Chains A and B, each alone.
Chain A
């Protein structure tokens, strides 16, 4: 994957496949600590200990269509090569939390990329999900949920016009978090 926002989309898709109703995406960027932290928390079906142990094995998958699952193993490799790491906590029936950290200034740390597009992809295809997004950059915070957006947009949230508007809005907010106008 070219950018972390695509990995994030991949992890969120995992949550959706696990029948999550509530998904949280937290991103923390801290230049003082030289840290980039991404957390995806869901209330899906969760994993038992046996599956959790094997989750980073490329030949472990719950899919019936194929024999490999490369999303998490490759992301783990990527994080570890950037002085970071990945951890997964999960409890059967309660949900799963995936945390990934990178050393932000590490030369191989991939760009965060287009988070707004990732979020809009989720909203467009799963407007029924309760999704919260929190992004903190050096103490500045932006926070929004699909619930909030639904209150504003009602049933129009599934229209291309509004979805594109949401993307512009998110891009604008993320830009200002990073100090841009």
Chain B
């Protein structure tokens, strides 16, 4: 029976309504705040003051049950998530999310983290496993676009849902196509600024079906196969300026030094044109790790050998302890943060072959 996503190991996309409860703004799926009025969309719903509901103070003005993690004031976190004393936002759910989606025979986990330099996490991850089946999707919002965090959350949710429901051939291609259409549609709904700088993101989606990995992508988020022994493989080829330049004969060192190096040449979004995802398959000969990540990690481990060595080292350290897959993804994330944390970091790992 084709299983549906398991809630407790479910998607990292933030669940929220498509309409802001405070101002009625549409098209805010995945956003932690309404772009129309700034109201917090997740967590406790604020009680807005309005004509039907006039009051001398709103829930936002009063403290609640939670104490402020910034200034320590007891019970000071108000209905809108801000501390009524120091004004700091208590937490943002997407800043750091961990998923342990292990099922017997397919241990799997993922971590997504804001990093150090970005004000919010614009990466999103979807990870679901069923017996002998795994679905993983990573999307990285394009920072220069408007609402890239909304784009990435919608992309992983749309693609992930299709991977979980659809078992036919070319499911990866169809999942990415659906995500592309959903992200492209964002430009014409919600905040008018989306029209001039449409929401955009990368995507990499991979399935594991009875030991066969199928992987599709657009952009520079990557998937690797790191076997316990033998040569590792990068399953994806970045859709980026540097990759194209090297392919055309530019000296790799010079290409990487170019300021355009990281510019991507394929993405999801209204300005992306027809998205024609690359798809590749691999049937591993032995046990190993499927690792899917955003450039927040691989930027610190650009070479394949370097990347594989780091994965093996961190996996080796995590192997003895509890929840080894979560420990692995967590420690790879910490490695990227310790290396500078310049970008949002997302890493998902699935262990195949026992």
- Please say whether chains A and B are actual partners in one complex: no
Contact surface of B with A, Cβ cutoff 8 Å: none
